[in-house]
């Protein structure tokens, strides 16, 4: 009996995670564009570069020219991002970038891009505080 209940819980958990991943995959294509490092680097001089990681990670090293706007504060501070300029997002991977892109799109931002593999694979210029 308990084994059956445990199996049902595991299956429900798996379906939830799979459904969430499918949702984010669909939303990513709808709200913005993922850029490889070369394309991100080429366009970032005309864009707002937003580092979504928490301050301690930003201070330890970030893309040169980026400003820190942690994902945890995005809902309160999205007004600091200009809607008339492209928005280049990155985090450590891409999960937070996808979520931030969805939130910004709901607020009317149209030109939203994010770094494909995030800061973890960035080979361009960086700065430390």
For the cut 90, the answer to whether the pLDDT of residue 128 exceeds it is no
The per-residue pLDDT for 21 is 77
Q: Of 14, 42, 32, 129, which Cα lies nearest the Cα of 89?
A: 32
pLDDT band at 6; cut points 50, 70, 90: confident
The per-residue pLDDT for 58 is 96
- CA distances (Å), 74 to each of 29, 43, 68, 100, 103, in order? 21, 23, 10, 8, 9
φ, ψ (nearest 5 deg) of residue 110: -110, -35
Tens of pLDDT, residues 28-82: 677 889 999 999 999 989 999 999 999 999 999 999 999 999 999 999 998 999 9
The per-residue pLDDT for 19 is 83
What pTM was computed for the model? 0.82
* Domains of the chain, each with CATH number or no CATH: 32-127 (3.40.250.10)
The per-residue pLDDT for 29 is 75
Of 20 and 75, more confident: 75
């Amino acid at each position: 009996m308990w084994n059956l209940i445990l199996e049902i819980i595991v299956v429900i958990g798996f379906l939830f995670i799979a459904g969430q991943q499918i949702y984010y995959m669909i939303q990513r294509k709808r709200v913005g564009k993922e850029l490889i490092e070369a394309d991100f680097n080429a366009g970032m001089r005309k864009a707002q570069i937003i580092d979504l990681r928490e301050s301690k990670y930003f201070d330890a090293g970030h893309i040169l020219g980026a400003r820190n706007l942690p994902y945890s504060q995005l809902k309160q501070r999205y007004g600091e991002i200009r809607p008339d300029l492209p928005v280049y997002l990155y985090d450590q991977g891409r999960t937070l970038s996808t979520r931030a892109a969805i939130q910004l799109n709901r607020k009317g931002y149209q030109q939203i891009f994010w770094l494909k593999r995030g800061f973890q694979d960035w080979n361009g210029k960086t700065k430390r505080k």
